[in-house]
Amino acid sequence: MAGTTNDGCLIYTALSAKRAGYEVYAVLDAGGSVFQISDNAAQLRMMQAGVLLTTTAAILGELAKDWATPHGAQIRQLLAENLTTAIGGFGLSK
């Protein structure tokens, strides 16, 4: 899960879901916080509660499983088309 802010939207939803018995993954780079210390505190609190901290790239890598497969190539192409400016070309040349 993700939220607009990690120290507001995400943390309370993640902690509630964890208390309800869900396995919770917090996608940290999908949101943020105004202050770094607030983001750090939210991450620490979620970690202490057993929330699994991850990133967008890690989630996509798990979904792709193998970038060399047709499924992995499709995910890589979507990333290249939508996020190239932000984080690079994912090994694709134009």
In the chain (94 residues long), the average pLDDT of successive 10-residue segments reads 96 98 96 96 98 90 83 82 60 51
- pLDDT at site 57: 80
pLDDT given at position 94: 47
Q: pTM to 2 decimals?
A: 0.75
Q: CA nearest 6: which of 50, 56, 46?
A: 46
User: At residue 25, what are phi and psi to the nearest 5 degrees?
Assistant: -110, 125
pLDDT at 5: 96
Q: How many residues does the chain have?
A: 94
User: Which sign does the torsion angle of CA 25, 54, 80, 68 carry?
Assistant: negative
Question: Which token pair is 61?
Answer: 């890598």
Residue 59, pLDDT score: 86
| Eight-state DSSP code of residue 21 | T
Q: Where are the domains of the chain?
A: 6-54, 56-87
Q: What is the pLDDT of residue 36?
A: 97
